[in-house]
Structure formats: structure tokens, C-alpha cells
């Protein structure tokens, strides 16, 4: 993989947000010839400064050299726009046949199947491969990948998977299975954040210092990864959007739509969706998803002015 310069495995990360930037840096650390694609010039420059071969809003200069593409954009619409463009002139048309495309946005299973079918019709190898772990795991090359697709796609993308993932769960060959596993995972993640916010809001109403409540929970049986990570933002009064409220509005909508398609009730997920949608409607959509706590009335929160 890392022989002569001309034989280096070449990978492009599309979407240089908090997770995409970490994944791209992990590719550099693993010795891959790494490229980036993002509309944000500052992110592209930061990746070049970190050692990328190239980075920009347009991948046409290097697309034909790539072995693999990792899509870490927000939703299915962005996946389609990047890959196919409005007139079929997107990134996919510039890739060599046999290039692996790892679709890692959180999207519906039907969208995963549609995108993969279009890629396969163009001679490309598609992997339905959502990820989890947040910015810290991405930066450490330790994301969890839940992937489905043909064996040839796994084989083609193995160097990329090795670079960015601590664990790769091979769900099966049927495209859409990876997306479904991620949607079920997001049910838990969203409910845990909402429940954590409710607990901390109750603590605030009862006059319990939130840093004390946080320490108790994170050292007791009620803790969860999402509580420990997100409620620290509440204690610190810092709602810098590492993952925004609107992301969970989108993800929990996917959860509820999946359940509706299966005629299956999800009372907790439905409530969590309503909480995030309410937070977004109140103007907190672009804040960190811990800002769902701001919709509780009659409490004082660190760093938050009273209305």
C-alpha cells in the first residue's frame, strides 16, 4: 500500500466538518495519499497544511487518480449533489471504474440503495457505511463503521477502513443494512441526549449544582456515553456545534419514518424527535445538540441568559 510514491493508495474525504477533518487527518497519519473536498476554503487549507496532497471545492484535478472516496456530508441530498450533480457531472463521473465509494452520511436505507445502484451502474464499488464516534474518535482513526455491500467493495476500501476505523462491522452484502443499523443507533443516541437534558433540567429546577449532578451520574449506573459527552457542554455553558440540534431533527425523523414504514411504534424516539424539533423551532437548530435543554422553562443554565 505504501510502496513507491506512485503506488500509494489515494483517498479523498468529502466533507471536512468535525468528523470529516478527523478522518482525513487519520488517512494522512496512516500514510495514504489524502485529498479533501469541501466548500469551506479554510477547511481545505487546514487539510493541506496537515499534509494532504490536495484539497478544494472541486475534485476534478485529482478525481481520476483516486482509489477511494469517503463521503461524510450531512444528508442524502448532499450525497447526490456531490456524486452526480444536477446534470450528471458530479464527482462520480470523474472517477475511474473500480474506485471504491464509501457513503458514510446518515441516510435512509432507500436512499442508500438508490445511490449505490447509480454508482454501480457507473462501474464504481459502493459501500453503505455509516459511521459513529464523534470528532474525537474520527481524529484518532477509531470511528465505528457499520457497513454493508459487496465483498469487492470491502476489499477495495480496506486501506481506507483501516485508516479511519477502530471497528468495522460487516453487516452483510445487502445495501441498506448499514443505513438501517445506523438509524437504530441514532434512536438510542437521540433519546439519550434528550433524557440527559431532561435529567439536568430537573436538577436545575431542584437547585442541584449541575456540575455535582454531572459528576454523580458519570460515576454511577445512570451514565451513558451521550450523557457524559453532551451534558458536559451544559455544565460548561458551551453550545459550540460539534453536532447540531438540526442534525438530530433529521436523524430522528429518519428513525420515525423507518418505524412508520414497518408499522412499528416508537414512543420514546417520537418524544425525543418532538423535543429536538421544538428546540430547532425555538432558534437553537445550529447550536450543539445539547441545546435541547434550553427549551425547558423556569430554569437557570450556566452561560445562558434568562429570557
The Cα–Cα gap between 132 and 242 comes to 13
As a whole number of angstroms, the longest Cα–Cα distance in the chain is 64
Catalytic residue among 182, 250, 294, 306: 182
Active site residue 182: yes
- Three-state DSSP class for residue 295: helix
- Three-state DSSP class for residue 13: strand
Q: Are 226 and 189 in contact (CB under 8 A)?
A: yes
Residue 173's CB: how many other CB atoms inside 10 A?
12
Residue 42's CB: how many other CB atoms inside 10 A?
9
User: How distant is the alpha carbon of residue 135 from its chain centre?
Assistant: 9
Considering only CA atoms, which of 76, 103, 135 is closest in space to residue 14?
A: 103
The Cα–Cα gap between 271 and 257 comes to 14
Q: Are 116 and 92 in contact (CB under 8 A)?
A: no
Give 216's DSSP letter: H
The Cα–Cα gap between 51 and 27 comes to 10
The three cell numbers locating residue 113: 440503495
Residues with a known catalytic role: 182
Amino acid at each position: 500500500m505504501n510502496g513507491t510514491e506512485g503506488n500509494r493508495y489515494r483517498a479523498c474525504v468529502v466533507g471536512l466538518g468535525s468528523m470529516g477533518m478527523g478522518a482525513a487527518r487519520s488517512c494522512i497519519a496512516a500514510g495514504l495519499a489524502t485529498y479533501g473536498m469541501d466548500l469551506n476554503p479554510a477547511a481545505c487549507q487546514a487539510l493541506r497544511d496537515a499534509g494532504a496532497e490536495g484539497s478544494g471545492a472541486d475534485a476534478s484535478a485529482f478525481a481520476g487518480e483516486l482509489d477511494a472516496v469517503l463521503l461524510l456530508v450531512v444528508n442524502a441530498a448532499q450525497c447526490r449533489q456531490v456524486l452526480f450533480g444536477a446534470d450528471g457531472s458530479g464527482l462520480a463521473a470523474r472517477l475511474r471504474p473500480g474506485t471504491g465509494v464509501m457513503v458514510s452520511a446518515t441516510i435512509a436505507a432507500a436512499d442508500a440503495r438508490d445511490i449505490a445502484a447509480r454508482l454501480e451502474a457507473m462501474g464504481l464499488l459502493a459501500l453503505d457505511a455509516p459511521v459513529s464516534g464523534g470528532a474525537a474518535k474520527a481524529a484518532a482513526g477509531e470511528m465505528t463503521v457499520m457497513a454493508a455491500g459487496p465483498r469487492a467493495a470491502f476489499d477495495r476500501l480496506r486501506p481506507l477502513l483501516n485508516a479511519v476505523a477502530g471497528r468495522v462491522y460487516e453487516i452483510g452484502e445487502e445495501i441498506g443494512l448499514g443505513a438501517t443499523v445506523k438509524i437504530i443507533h441514532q434512536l438510542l443516541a437521540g433519546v439519550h441526549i434528550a433524557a440527559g437534558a431532561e435529567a439536568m433540567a430537573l436538577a436545575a429546577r431542584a437547585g442541584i449544582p449541575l456540575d455535582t449532578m454531572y459528576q454523580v451520574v458519570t460515576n454511577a449506573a445512570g451514565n451513558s456515553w451521550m450523557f457524559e459527552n453532551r451534558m458536559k457542554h451544559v455544565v460548561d455553558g458551551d453550545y459550540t456545534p460539534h453536532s447540531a440540534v438540526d442534525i438530530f431533527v433529521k436523524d430522528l425523523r429518519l428513525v420515525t419514518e423507518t418505524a412508520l414504514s414497518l408499522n412499528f411504534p416508537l414512543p420514546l424516539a417520537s418524544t425525543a424527535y418532538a423535543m429536538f424539533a421544538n428546540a430547532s423551532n425555538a432558534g437553537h437548530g445550529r447550536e450543539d445538540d445539547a441545546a435541547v435543554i434550553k427549551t425547558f422553562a423556569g430554569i437557570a443554565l450556566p452561560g445562558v441568559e434568562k429570557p
